[in-house]
Amino acid sequence: MTANRLRHDKPARKVIKQARWLLLRNPQNLKTPEQQVHLQDLLAANQSLMTVYLMKAELKTLWTPSAAWAWRSAWKQWLRHAHESDIPALIQFAKRLKGYWRGIVSRVRWLMHTGQLEGINNRIKVIKRMAYGYRDSEFFFMKIKSVFPGNP
């Protein structure tokens, strides 16, 4: 949005457009000292940008909690900070993300990646295709349980 306002000032627009990638990168992934200095200058010049950048870093730490209840309290704190920031885009993002908190906390409790889940679902679909025409659902579920013996 800021870059669109500067469409007539090409050098200033270029600085803003290049800064986008600096903001999206993790600080440890900045390759040169010039990038680090440029990022620091950019964040010092814009208070709301600094707030959103720090909130992004805080949100990233939420993905590696020690326990589900610790995650929930950290999540509530992050939401409170987002609402206190008075930045409309951040508040809107927090409201949208709020609807997914149950699924996220489930991911924290049970560390099953979606790749594993997709593999299980795919295997069940293959069994279902092979069993096409059978009328006995008990046999179908026995076949699934035989493929995944460790799961109850």
In this prediction the pTM is 0.60
Strand, coil or helix: 8: coil
Q: What is the pLDDT of residues 76-108, one digit of tens each?
A: 899 999 999 988 988 999 999 888 888 877 777
Residue environment code for 44-68, b if the CB has 16+ CB neighbours within 10 A, otherwise e: eeeeebebbbebeeebeeeeebeee
pLDDT confidence tier of residue 4, bands split at 50, 70 and 90: low
pLDDT confidence of residue 152: 54
Sequence spans of domains, the chain: 114-147
pLDDT confidence of residue 91: 92
Count of other CB atoms within 10 angstroms of residue 125: 10
Q: Measure the CA–CA gap between 5 and 8, rounded to whole angstroms.
A: 8
